[in-house]
Amino acid sequence: MKFLDQAKIYVRSGDGGAGCVSFRREKYIEFGGPDGGDGGRGGDVWIECVEGLNTLIDYRYHQHFKAKTGTHGMGRNRTGGKGEDVILRVPVGTEILEEDNDTPITDMTQPGQRFLLLKGGNGGFGNSHFKSSTNQAPRHANPGLAGEEKWIWLRLKLIADAGLVGLPNAGKSTFLAAVSAAKPKIADYPFTTLHPNLGVVEIDGRGFVLADIPGLIEGAHDGVGLGDRFLGHVERTRVLLHLVDGTDEDPGNAYKVVRGELEAYGHGLTDKPEIVALSKADALTPEVREEKEKALEAACGQKPIVISSASRENIDRTLRMMVRAIDRDKEVEANQVPSKLEEPWRP
């Protein structure tokens, strides 16, 4: 299945049904009069968050969604039925934005979550609604109200506990393949990863979801390379694992390049806990390894962990560090969001 994380679609709620102009004309019934029913309400446009989806590919070829018009009113005071709703089913983690692709409407983060995007138009009144002592035979009815319409953007941001960042060929996909059952594309040329990959990692009986995104290069925030559009997939993570290629001539500069792109992107990525790792240690001699480790430590301000996905050196230690960082972030979040039961009683 092709991965698609952004789509622009047109949505429109249904028009309300028109009211009916009708009069009773039964034989042998002495009192006639207006009996036109009201029109039914137009269909609504709903967004529903469902499990089992991980892409927006369904909205690549179907981009216009219109709810049904309400049924018109009928004689004998029969009210028209409500128009059929449109339900847009999206993956967990989908953000709904206005046409400017910047103003948020809602964020779908929980399976089963539903959001009313557009309300259908109300149905028009039939002529029986207008009868009075001075107007006993009204010959007019209201048309239904028009529905609402707009263009919106759907943007998928994968929900993962941890994220991998780094330059192309830093060993991110190799790391993901080594610690999970994911099978990302791995090759010895840049940009082998063209879309995000997810893997479930297990260590010491604990599990968490790890996201691997395409590599960043200098100028990604200006659209260089694959740009920074995939950084949205690590916005929701609790910790970042920053991999720096140990075979790079200047690992300190490689770290600063990616860090600069994270700062240019914003959205709180630079505030997340970061674990810095020097990868591909199996390809380094002890002298070169020590030299690269010191250069990276001087650039990032913390002692990096030296790893090798091929020989699994320090892989388990890195995973345990990520689990501890995830737990700390969850604890901070729990302390910041008071429980509803702890809220003071108010009259």
For 197-248, the pLDDT digits (tens) are 888 899 988 889 999 988 888 887 777 767 777 888 888 899 999 999 998 8
What pLDDT sits at residue 215? 85
What pLDDT sits at residue 341? 44
What pLDDT sits at residue 338? 54
What pLDDT sits at residue 343? 52
Q: Where are the domains of the chain?
A: 6-156, 162-336
131, two tokens: 């009868």
The residues of the chain scoring below 50 in pLDDT are 1, 339-342
The secondary structure of the chain in percent helix, strand, coil, rounded to multiples of 5, reads 25, 25, 50
What pLDDT sits at residue 190? 72
- Phi and psi at 232, nearest 5°, equal -60, -25
pLDDT digits (tens, 9 = 90+) for 103-119: 999 999 999 999 999 99
Query: At which residue do the structure tokens 């490689």 appear?
Result: 254
Report which secondary-structure segment, H or E, holds 274.
Answer: strand 274-279
What pLDDT sits at residue 131? 92
CATH 3.40.50.300 fits 162-336, yes or no: yes
What pLDDT sits at residue 337? 55
Give the chain's end-to-end CA distance (angstroms, integer).
54
| CATH number corresponding to 6-156 | 2.70.210.12
306, two tokens: 């030296």
What pLDDT sits at residue 326? 93
pTM score of the predicted model: 0.78
